[in-house]
Chain A
Amino acid sequence: MDLLDILRTALTQALGPSAIVYALAAIGLNIHFGYTGLLNFGQAGFMAVSAYALAVTVVQADLPFWLGVVLALVAPVVLALLLGVPTLRLRADYLAIVTIAAAEILRLVFGAVETKDVFGGSNGLNGYSETYKGLNVYTKLGVGRDGLDLGVVQYSRDDLWNITVGWTLVALGCLFVWLLMRSPWGRVLRSIREDEDAVRSLGKNVFAYKMQALILGGVFGGLAGLFLALKQSSVVPSDYSSNITFYAYTALLLGGAARVLGPVVGAIIFWFLLTGLGELFSQLTSGTDPILPASIMDGTQASLVRFIVTGLALMLLMIFRPQGIFGDRREIAIDAR
């Protein structure tokens, strides 16, 4: 067992593209849940519509890449409007059920045999990311295909481009959220979270504010889906299951909801622990004479331990430290109406 190796792998992943996907998705959930108190359990659906909007535009309709990107940012707005109109007036748990149901509907439809001609069935779509890859500045700088090995972390040339684009998006997103949340608009959102009726009695249109928050957070979800689609160069329906929403929530709650940097730090720590644990148990069970005998844990089971821990961590976090690492307990919308 090589502890240093485990740490290197974990750190590489924690700063890598996968963590960026969760950071972007969690920034969106932070706007929904952290600032406005909306329980959106369908972030996976927002991610899926963006990813498929790009893929279908470029691959199936043969339209330009940049039009695909624009449509990928329009798609979550449309989805938010469709979901928000019936549900934003309802209680929090209804919104949760509707959003998770909508995300499941989208995933099933995207993966269905009957829609294979458009969405590619369970194999999904690929072949839309050439323009994105062509923009890779590291190719022009003459970095080799193997990329850079910085000792502690190492990334391939493609991943270097991915993390450059990704972390730039995350940074811009955080700046945007920071500016928004200290504006009067942001203060109204937080007041809605605290006491909706009080805001209403001040003459504010609560429904409109909630809708704006749902759209904005949904667009961040869409960005996450778009980035996932670009980094993977393929869109597969199974990537957009409800688990991705739940893990994004875990990341958000880990870092601390209603904090600008909460989702970002949360995503980094979440991926560090997830890959670290995965690598640790994979090393413990691999080799001819594994430390953990196969009768207790085999290779497949080793890959499951980290998710068992994730579930446990989500429970314990919510029970003992709902504000996460950086959050403020008073700022968490967990005392439901």
Chain B
Amino acid sequence: MARFMALMAVLAAILLPVAAHAADATPGASPSASPSASTAPTTGTAINVLLTNQSDKAADGTAKPIPGVTLNVTDEAGNAVGSGVTDAKGRAIIAVPAKATYKVTLDEKTLPEGIALGDGTADSVTVAVRLDGPNNFAAFPIGVQAKATTGFGDKLSDSIVSGVKFGLIVALAALGLSLIFGTTGLTNFAHGELITFGALVAYLFNVTIGLPVIVAGVIAVILSGAFGWLQDAVLWRPLRKRGTGLIAMMIVSIGLGIFLRYVYQYLFSSETKPFSDYTNQARRDYGFIRLADKEVAILLIAIVAITVVCVAMMTTRFGKAMRAVSDNPALAASSGLRVDGVIRNAWILGTLLSGLAGVLLGVNSQINFLMGFKLLLLVFAAVTLGGLGTIWGALIGSMVIGLMVEVGPLFGVPSSIKEVGALIVLILVLLVRPQGILGRRERIG
């Protein structure tokens, strides 16, 4: 029987290439193998539309998908940007050139027999494409019975996974910041640019030179370490030798940050670009959680790197030396430690970890010259929350911040400003317990 006046909902979700619901694009692609499938947009920035028939639900309550419907995307000036046809799962992924506001129009003539738009349902929806982080998607329902496609439990587990992943990436950068702060006392306002450095170098070797993403990532991490050494040798060490004060060094780091940001923009342009590979990857179902293979890789790499650093800090001579210097540089020096060498190592290791964070963040989402700067305050928040200069504190603080940022939107935090919560926590921690969760009570005022 032909069904008239089917109620249906259109959900358009903006996706980072990684993020959730891009799911069906490349079933089974593994991080070490094939490039993304042909349905995936090459640029990575895309509008994701899901068409389901809300009046025809399966036994488990999920609405049936509507395949074969043409969707056209136009920009604000009305120029056609692209179009897509929904696949067997009712999903269409339409690549867009840049982040901006677009209008998605449904071609009613292509609707399957017996299905029509409900009364009072517009055939178009305006979508603002933003790229501030994974899972930053917005749903714009068209139709009388607009319903979210995923239940709260699914959303919660998805956002917890995103939060852990984001937290681990922040943790890498926070460890880097913490190492440098611990040994030198410098609050490095150019730390965000060290994160960006890793991602940009990886992009250079991957897209410009044409090496595989993984090789490019390894090179980028190594070069990040070299960049840390260079910075210390050329800038920070001479400043320490001159006896420049910490406040002066902090302002120098602001200048360095501005300098690097604009050099990055000069060389990379202000566009947001993806790596050549792993842009859109399917998520596999692991029971409670769904993860794309590259997300598994990111989680594993981050956990291994953090574990190695933490164990090394606790057990090796190198780690002990670093902790000794951060406890009391003068005493460490008089015990025969080469303080300058230890600080140099801290710069190398710290920058290397931050570069790794940048590479992983680039794989996770995309690359932009401001990506590190946008992360800087969250890294500060993580480090302050855990306790400035403590290794475990940085780790715990990062996880809390990561989860807060990603899970917050589920509990009413507006998703376009989900970072605000973490920054408010930063201020509150300083109010209540300025030494952080794990920090020792010492002179902070």
Contacts and interface: CB of A to CB of B under 8 A. Distances in A.
B444 A114 contact: no
A91 interface: yes
Given A91-B445, A97-B187, A335-B245, A112 B416 contact: yes
Interface stretch (B110-118, B209-217, B420-428): B420-428
Interface string A142-163: 0000000000000000000000
A304 interface: yes
Q: Which of B247, B265, B381, B443 has the most CB of A within 10 A?
A: B247
B246 A93 contact: yes
By secondary structure, the B interface counts as helix
B251 A318 contact: yes
Given A94-B444, A310-B258, A113 B251 contact: no
B88 interface: no
Interface stretch (A1-9, A72-80, A100-108, A165-173): A100-108
Interface stretch (A16-24, A82-90, A133-141, A176-184): A82-90
A314 B445 contact: no
Contacts of B259: 308, 311-312, 315
A66 B256 CA distance: 42
A136 to B, nearest CB: 35
A112 B132 CA distance: 13
A86 B261 CA distance: 31
A333 B251 contact: no
Interface residues of B, number: 43
A271 interface: no
Contacts of B187: 93, 96-97
Interface string B257-269: 1111111011001
A336 to B, nearest CB: 4
Nearest to B384: A97
Contact of B416 (A113, A318, A336): A113
Nearest to A312: B259
Interface string A36-55: 00010000000000000000
Contact of A315 (B256, B266, B427, B444): B256
Given A102-B427, A333-B247, A97 B380 contact: yes
Give the secondary structure class of A's interface.
helix
B58 interface: no
B82 interface: no
B33 interface: no
B377 interface: yes
Given A91-B444, A104-B377, A112-B417, A311 B257 contact: yes
A256 B261 CA distance: 26
A321 to B, nearest CB: 11
A331 to B, nearest CB: 14
Contacts of A94: 384, 430, 434, 444
Interface string B366-402: 0000000000010011001000000000000000000
Interface in A286-337: 300-301, 304-305, 307-308, 310-319, 322, 333-336
A313 B259 CA distance: 9
B63 interface: no
Contacts of B258: 243, 246, 307, 310-311, 314
Interface string A106-133: 0011001110000000000000000000
A46 to B, nearest CB: 16
B247 A314 contact: no
B248 interface: yes
A212 B187 CA distance: 26
Contacts of A91: 443-445
B139 interface: no
A318 B420 contact: no
A300 B239 contact: no
Nearest to A196: B445
Contacts of B443: 91
A113 B187 CA distance: 33
A199 interface: no
Contacts of A307: 258, 262
Given A97-B426, A314-B258, A90 B251 contact: no
Contacts of B423: 101-102, 104-105
A25 to B, nearest CB: 15
Contacts of A93: 187, 246-247, 250
A71 interface: no
Q: How many A residues touch the partner, as a band?
A: 35 or more
A249 interface: yes
A82 B49 CA distance: 44
B254 interface: yes
B55 interface: no
B419 interface: yes
A249 B251 CA distance: 9
B248 A322 contact: yes
Contact of A86 (B239, B269, B430): B430
A264 interface: no
A304 B265 contact: yes
B252 interface: yes
A246 B254 contact: yes
A214 B384 CA distance: 23
A334 B377 contact: no
Nearest to B256: A315
Nearest to A91: B444
A253 interface: yes
A92 interface: yes
A98 interface: yes
B32 interface: no
A108 B415 CA distance: 11
B266 A314 contact: no
B237 to A, nearest CB: 13
Nearest to B422: A101
Given A301-B266, A315-B252, A101 B416 contact: no
Contacts of A108: 417, 419-420
Contacts of B420: 105, 108-109
A186 B123 CA distance: 66
B252 A311 contact: no
B341 interface: no
Interface in B222-252: 239, 244-248, 250-252
The 5 closest A-B pairs by CB, nearest first: A311-B259, A314-B255, A311-B258, A315-B255, A86-B431
18 contacts: A87-B427, A87-B430, A108-B420, A246-B258, A250-B255, A300-B269, A304-B262, A311-B261, A313-B255, A314-B251, A314-B255, A315-B252, A315-B255, A318-B248, A318-B251, A322-B248, A334-B248, A335-B247
Given A91-B443, A304-B266, A336-B245, 20 more contacts: A39-B247, A86-B430, A87-B427, A87-B431, A93-B187, A94-B444, A97-B384, A97-B426, A100-B377, A105-B424, A108-B420, A109-B420, A114-B414, A249-B254, A301-B266, A308-B262, A311-B257, A312-B259, A314-B252, A314-B258
